[in-house]
Structures are given as C-alpha cells and as structure tokens.
Amino acid sequence: MHTVIIYLSKYISRRVKRLASLPSLLKEINLSVTKQEKLGHQHIGFDKIKHKLFLVKKRGNRLVCWIVNLQDLQWCAVKKVYGAIGAGELKTRNLNHFLQSVSLQLKFRGSAKPVSVTFFESQHNTADELPVLEAAAKRWEHVLSQLPPNVLPSFTT
C-alpha cells in the first residue's frame, strides 16, 4: 500500500462556500472525525477508523486541505527549526526568539522523505501563539504514536 496525500484546495474552496461547518465538509468527503482541533487559522483532525489525518489551513482568502493516509506510518516526531544565532545573542534573547517553525514530521515506510505538517511558522504566527501550537504538535505526536502497527507488510513497487 502506498501513502496517499491528497491536496484538495480547489475542491475545498468551492464547497466551503456552500457548507456551514467542517464536519459537514468531512462528511461530504467521507471522513468521520475521531479527534479534531482548531488552532488559529487551521483545523487538524483524525479519522481513527480509516487511519486518515486531515489538515485544513486558511491562508488569506484561500483554503488548503491535506488528507494523509496513515496506514504505513513508520514514525512521527516534532521538529523545531531555528534561525542563525550569533555569538552571545542567547545572553540577551530567549531561544524561542530564533525559532522559525514547529512541525510534525510523518515518516512512511517506502518513502525517502518525511511529510511535514506545520503548526508554527514565524512568518505567519506570533510569538504569543508559540506555546499553544507547540503543545498541539506534541499532542498530535502522541495521538499518532499510539496507532497500532499495520499488521500487513508494506510493499513498494
């Protein structure tokens, strides 16, 4: 089985105008919500039965939606990326001042690169949002780490 990531931006944008809420949107694309969370301008959710993770982000007047098949999830981890720190700058500034992004890395069997789900970006989020978004990334890491391992072997073609 291959990992499938579906980018549904145009599909979502057309239907969001007609639909009143995210649950009705998910019902239309045949997903049931086991766990979901709204974080600023994004929604993240999980369909435990179908092992799918969905992410809906709003960027300006545009919606971006990802649906990730978690059947072949090998591992997940929170990744923090820091900018350059000059000599002595940590004496006057906190380490979080240099934080550029916090993301959840999803590594799949048979895939060379992990998929990244970004929770915090310094260009789009404020420093006040960092603790909440970082805690959310850790919560989702825990939720996805609790998934039972796939009993069928993964085959690549």
Instruction: Identify whether 99 is part of a domain.
Output: yes
User: Encoding tokens for residue 86?
Assistant: 């000059």
Instruction: Identify whether 19 is part of a domain.
Output: yes
Instruction: Identify whether 153 is part of a domain.
Output: no
Instruction: Identify whether 35 is part of a domain.
Output: yes
pTM for the whole structure: 0.72
E strands along 40-134, which residues?
42-47, 52-59, 62-69, 73-82, 99-108, 115-121
Q: Tell me, what's the pLDDT at 136?
A: 92
Q: Tell me, what's the pLDDT at 155?
A: 42
Q: Tell me, what's the pLDDT at 101?
A: 94
- Domain residue limits at 23: 5-145
Q: Tell me, what's the pLDDT at 8?
A: 53
Q: Tell me, what's the pLDDT at 149?
A: 64
Q: Tell me, what's the pLDDT at 14?
A: 55
Domain count, the chain: 1
pLDDT tens string 6-55: 555 555 555 544 444 566 666 777 777 778 888 767 788 888 888 888 88
Instruction: Identify whether 151 is part of a domain.
Output: no
pLDDT tens string 81-134: 999 988 888 899 888 889 999 999 988 888 778 888 889 999 888 889 999 999
Instruction: Identify whether 110 is part of a domain.
Output: yes
36 membership: H or E segment, kind and range: strand 35-39
Q: Which residues contact 9 (CB under 8 A, 6 or more apart)?
A: 62, 63, 64, 65
- Is there a contact between 84 and 68 (Cβ–Cβ < 8 Å)? no
Instruction: Identify whether 116 is part of a domain.
Output: yes
Has residue 152 got a pLDDT over 50? no
Instruction: Identify whether 122 is part of a domain.
Output: yes
Query: Residue 111, class by beta-carbon neighbours within 10 Å (0-12 exposed, 13-18 middle, 19+ buried)?
Result: middle
User: Encoding tokens for residue 50?
Assistant: 């179908």
Has residue 3 got a pLDDT over 70? no
Q: Tell me, what's the pLDDT at 18?
A: 45
d(CA 2, CA 70): 10
d(CA 7, CA 57): 12
Q: Tell me, what's the pLDDT at 105?
A: 92
